[in-house]
Amino acid sequence: MMRLQGSALRLTIFVGEHDTWHRRPLYHEIVHRAHQQGLAGASVLHGIEGYGASSRIHTARILSLSEDLPLAIIIVDASDKIRAFLPQLDELVTEGLVILDEVEVIRYVGRPAPSGEDDEGRP
């Protein structure tokens, strides 16, 4: 069981939901690489409206259905582990925004995987 407490870095990557890497969703590739590198965890949050460098607004409002809503991939871990992961993002993220924030982790406690399952919850 992994524990994380005290000072850490929060890595946030903003991309579009239709951004891809070798015909797979980009967010999926980022999460799987973070997992392979042993980072503490990753979450993908689906935005309902936003715009980026192109200044084109993407929205989930029913009257103007967007096909490329914003996503935020958030990863928090020790500074050295996050910084070691950054070169992978240079390869993967061709459009988007990558930011780092210093954070303080108050509590991070996982639960052990049920017996017979791997780290991704598969039997």
| CA-wise closest residue to 15 among 86, 99, 78 | 99
Alpha helices in the chain (DSSP H): 26-36, 79-92
**Does residue 122 lie within any of the structural domains?**
no
State which residues form the domain around 34. 6-105
**Does residue 80 lie within any of the structural domains?**
yes
Q: Give me the chain's average pLDDT, please.
A: 84
**Does residue 110 lie within any of the structural domains?**
no
**Does residue 41 lie within any of the structural domains?**
yes
**Does residue 111 lie within any of the structural domains?**
no
Instruction: Say what the pLDDT of residue 1 is.
Output: 46
**Does residue 29 lie within any of the structural domains?**
yes
The residue assigned the tokens 């990557």 is 13
Instruction: Supply the pTM of this predicted model.
Output: 0.78
**Does residue 119 lie within any of the structural domains?**
no
Q: What CATH number is given to the structural domain containing 15? A: 3.30.70.120
Please name the residues in contact with 100: beta carbons below 8 A apart, sequence gap of 6 or more. Answer: 9, 10, 11, 12, 82
Q: Out of 39-43, 46-50, 55-59, which region has the weakest mean confidence (pLDDT)?
A: 55-59
Does the pLDDT value for residue 120 go beyond 90?
no
Total domains in the chain come to 1
Reduced to 3 states (helix: H, G, I; strand: E, B; else coil), residue 27 is helix
